[in-house]
A and B are shown apart, each in its own frame.
Chain A
Amino acid sequence: MPWKDGYTISDEKSLADDEVRWPGGARCCVSITVDLSIASGPEGICAADLKTPPALFGMGQGLAAVLGMLRRYELKATFAVPATIAHINPDKIRAFAAEGHEIAAHGFKHEDVSALERAEESVRIARATDILAEVTGRRPAGWFSLPRQGDPFAGGTISPNTMQLLIEAGYTYMGNGLADDIPHYWVTDFASRQAILTLPYYYHFDDQFFLMFPRRGTGLEHPDALFRNWKAEFEAQYRRGRHFNMTLHPQHIGWCNRLQLLDDFLAHLRSFPDLWNPTGEECARYWLETYQASSYLRLEPSIWQDYPGSLS
């Protein structure tokens, strides 16, 4: 049994700051994820979720506001789009894809797949991929499994098979990993070194956990904490020359006071020179070519042992 099986997903040590380089000598990579899911629970987007004011706002004025902000600061984003949302709003999806934003998959309906049978999950991935390909005219390169506001854990729900199935379905990258703050390889089989590139995500930079969290009407509104987290992480990662990701939800960030917050933060971000702002796919392709797994995935042989009386 490979030594990290069941415990770890990647190698023992990340790349050091001075090993990380970006195209054109850029100082820091800035990626923006826009999550178009409005799923309220683990079953994914249901009819009740769609029949709400935030759902209309999120695909209407909120989305327009976020797109306007990206335009104003000349930033590209990767949109994590549940296939159902693309199916319902094909023209909107095509319109912002035409602006240079990437359309990535975010499940069939952003459902919790953690307990699904492998075969069913595979069918769901294939169907979601086909729907998005039909809407945008090309197969998505990236797959996201972002958390929902009400999830008990803020990392996104995947099954033990998800990563392997994404490799089999031809995905270039998985969009939200937590084991690093730069792109890294999620190993699905240690013996064959099979892995999928994973882009970094962290819930402390995700608007939905600060704006009326854990749910609407709580009064727990912490835009100041969100702003300070974004600012502190971006500045620290800029100094290190690494990667900064922020995750936005139009139904949350598009609303008046929050929109101003986004405006202020993007203005601050844009005051720093030498940023590289790729889509998820551009970032993944650069990384796969520059930091090939054959030389940069440093898997060490097992020293893990089995002991009686211990978890294996």
Chain B
Amino acid sequence: MARLPVTSLLDRELEDLRQAAGAYAARHRFIPDFRYPRDVRIAVNFTLDFDSMLLRRLLNEPPMQLAKGEFGGRVGIWRLIELFDSHRVTATIFTPGRACELYPQALRAAVRSGHEIADHMWEHRVPKEAELEEDHLSNTVAALEKISGRRPAGTRSSHSAALLRKYGYIYRSEGSADQRPHYELDENGENYLVNLPFHYVIDDAMFFSFAWLGSENAAQRITDPERAFDIWWAAFRQQYREGGYLNICMHPFVSGRALRVAMLDRLITGMKSLPGVWFPSCEQIARWCLGQFPPAGAS
């Protein structure tokens, strides 16, 4: 077989890469004329990933790690609800379906306070088998509906978009392809969902959680709340100037520690000192997007 000349190989590679980038870009619809309701300059979503110890168990971590996660359910979630209520901030709690069987009291308290209960998988994993994936998702929908009285509208997971749409979901909060809310379509260019972007730099676990997802000791996250405050405040100020969006991802077992609740209290107080800061649920933002900026031609 004759070998292709090097230039042809390079041309082919160039075309493959162009197609890969183009196909991925085509799955995103940004909203260039995005704006908020009158008098709003920025929306800030406080989102809690209520893993407690479910992920620790899934990763087969040792007993003390489970106990560390348990802090989130016994202590942290209550403190964070209290903090948000004291500031009239509506939070979104991404809840694994099975957490409803571990911490029903805390979740009911969150619902009573008007916080959104959204999906964070069934037991913090998305099964590869399609049938089992749907089984997990339908279990989660049923569990969250039972505890909150409403079906979940959104998820923080990699569940397939087609399945999410089938169960009535309208948004996902994962990834950071754009700083503002935007739309994402699946591989077939269908089943769009609003994406409410979150970035790891605005995620408490990146700063405070030892052994996060099996990280090596040299990469440990043991910084102090002031440093995270400075980073998050800078992020907020920049997006505030731009009329942008901020999604602050927290874990009750991390941010529910007293020293961090005190930091969040200062952060929210600082945000509230400026005009035009909106603290909606994720669902509210997603519905605003769908109502005002529907994705043209997407299904």
Contact = CB atoms under 8 A, between A and B. Distances in A.
Nearest to A6: B57
Specify the main secondary structure of chain A where it touches its partner: loop
Interface string B150-187: 00000000000000000000000000000000000000
B223 A236 contact: no
A114 interface: yes
B75 A180 contact: yes
Interface string A278-312: 00000000000000000000000001110111110
A225 interface: yes
Contacts of A226: 224
B211 A179 contact: no
B2 interface: no
B67 A178 contact: yes
B274 interface: no
Interface stretch (A120-128, A132-140, A156-164): A156-164
Given A209-B210, A228-B225, A303-B104, A236 B259 contact: yes
A8 B62 CA distance: 12
B63 A8 contact: no
Interface string B41-73: 000000000000110011001111111101101
A87 to B, nearest CB: 27
A12 B123 contact: no
Contacts of B63: 9, 158, 160
Contact of B71 (A178, A304, A309): A178
A115 B210 CA distance: 22
A236 B62 CA distance: 29
A3 interface: yes
B75 A307 contact: no
B53 A7 contact: yes
Contact of A309 (B64, B65, B132, B210): B132
Contacts of B71: 178-181
Interface residues of A, number: 62
Contact of A155 (B68, B98, B220, B223): B68
Interface stretch (A101-109, A146-154, A266-274): A146-154
B78 interface: yes
Contacts of B220: 154, 209, 213-214
A14 B78 contact: yes
Nearest to B210: A154
Contact of B123 (A149, A237, A311): A311
A214 B217 contact: yes
A307 B122 CA distance: 11
Interface in B229-277: 257-259, 261-263
Given A7-B53, A222-B222, A310-B123, A232 B262 contact: yes
A27 interface: no
Interface string A199-234: 000111000011001100010101011101100110
Given A178-B64, A236-B262, A309-B136, A7 B102 contact: yes
B65 to A, nearest CB: 5
A164 B102 CA distance: 23
A157 B152 CA distance: 38
Given A150-B217, A178-B68, A179-B68, A4 B62 contact: no
Contacts of B218: 214, 218, 220
Contact of A305 (B101, B136, B208, B261): B101
A177 interface: yes
A27 B118 CA distance: 38
A232 B222 contact: no
Contacts of A157: 62, 64
Contacts of A155: 62, 64-65, 67-68
B211 to A, nearest CB: 5
Given A155-B68, A232-B226, A203 B259 contact: no
Contact of B257 (A13, A181, A222): A181
Contacts of A9: 63, 66-67, 70
Given A181-B71, A232-B224, A236-B258, 15 more contacts: A7-B66, A8-B73, A9-B67, A12-B73, A155-B68, A157-B64, A158-B62, A158-B64, A178-B67, A186-B67, A209-B222, A213-B217, A225-B224, A232-B259, A239-B262
7 contacts: A7-B53, A8-B70, A12-B106, A153-B61, A233-B258, A240-B258, A310-B136
Interface of B: 53-54, 57-58, 61-68, 70-71, 73-75, 78, 98, 101-106, 122-123, 127, 132, 135-136, 139, 208, 210-211, 214, 217-218, 220, 222-227, 257-259, 261-263
Question: 5 smallest A-B Cβ distances: which pairs?
Answer: A155-B64, A236-B258, A232-B259, A228-B224, A214-B217
